[in-house]
Amino acid sequence: MKKTNHVNVKEMGFGQLFEQISPEEISDNVFTLVGKDFFAITAGKADHYNSMIGSGGGLGVLFKKPVTWCVIRADRHTLEMIEKERTYTLSYFPDEHREQMLFLGSKSGRDSGKMKEVQLTSVQTPSGDMSFKEARLIFECKLTELTTPKPDDFCTQEAKDYVTEAYKEENHYRKYVFGEITHVWVRK
Ligand SMILES: Cc1cc2nc3c(=O)[nH]c(=O)nc-3n(C[C@H](O)[C@H](O)[C@H](O)COP(=O)(O)O)c2cc1C
């Protein structure tokens, strides 16, 4: 991936910054992408959008389509917006922007101005979904499945205990969010 750090990304348009690749061309390791790098999940359009940080889930194939899946707590504002808009992005950032990225996971956009405060530059994809100019990899997704597993759906005691504990508070249950990957963008 070429570096464009020497230019002012804030002044560049989406087409200058990103090029489309196929899901098969993604060269990142999936366990690093999901479990170590983490990612910003963003839903909404230019006039109103919201992001949170995700750390679980994965990439795979569902009904012959490339998909991402995320595990999102039911009370997240971003989840509400995914359900409403039906499309969203997952954005991955270089280390230099990690602190700002993690800021998106520090408070809810429902009752804060975090999307205005964050020092990342929002950008609209050609399809109208929202991401950030500082991202190095973006998946645009179309919501395909929302599932809420029950503690009894898990087959190990460890998982049952974890889920039972996690579900104790109202609205703390987790939704598994599957989205077909409609576009993959990488920084030029
Ligand atoms: C490193 C990190 C990983 C996170 N992973 C998840 C996750 O996988 N699922 C989830 O529901 N929340 C996760 N969170 C918490 C949300 O990102 C956080 O509560 C966020 O402020 C929710 O914002 P929202 O209510 O504006 O959507 C994570 C937070 C951090 C800092």
Tell whether ligand 1 has an atom less than 6 A from the beta carbon of residue 38: yes
How many Å lie between the centroid of ligand 1 and the Cα of residue 126?
A: 26
The answer, yes or no, to whether any atom of ligand 1 lies below 6 A from the CB of 102, is: yes
**Is residue 62 lining ligand 1, measured as CB closer than 6 Å?**
no
- Closest residue CA from atom 30 of ligand 1: 105
Q: Verify whether ligand 1 is closer than 6 Å to residue 110 (CB atom).
A: yes
Q: Tell me: the pLDDT tens digits for 73-99?
A: 999 999 999 999 999 999 999 999 999
pLDDT above 60 for 4: no
| Structural domains of the chain sorted by starting position, each given as residue range(s) with its CATH number in brackets | 19-187 (2.30.110.10)
pLDDT tens profile 97-144? 999 999 999 999 999 999 999 999 999 999 999 999 999 999 999 999
83 class by beta-carbon count within 10 Å (0-12 exposed, 13-18 middle, 19+ buried): middle
Considering only CA atoms, which residue is closest to atom 2 of ligand 1?
A: 53
Taking the model in full, what pTM does it have? Answer: 0.95
Chain mean pLDDT for the chain: 94
Ligand 1 in reach of 50 Cβ (< 6 A)? yes
Q: Which pair of structure tokens corresponds to residue 172?
A: 């703390």
Residue 3 has pLDDT above 80, yes or no: no
pLDDT of residue 6: 62
Whole-number pLDDT of residue 175: 96
pLDDT per residue over 26-57, tens digit each?
999 999 999 999 999 999 999 999 999 999 99
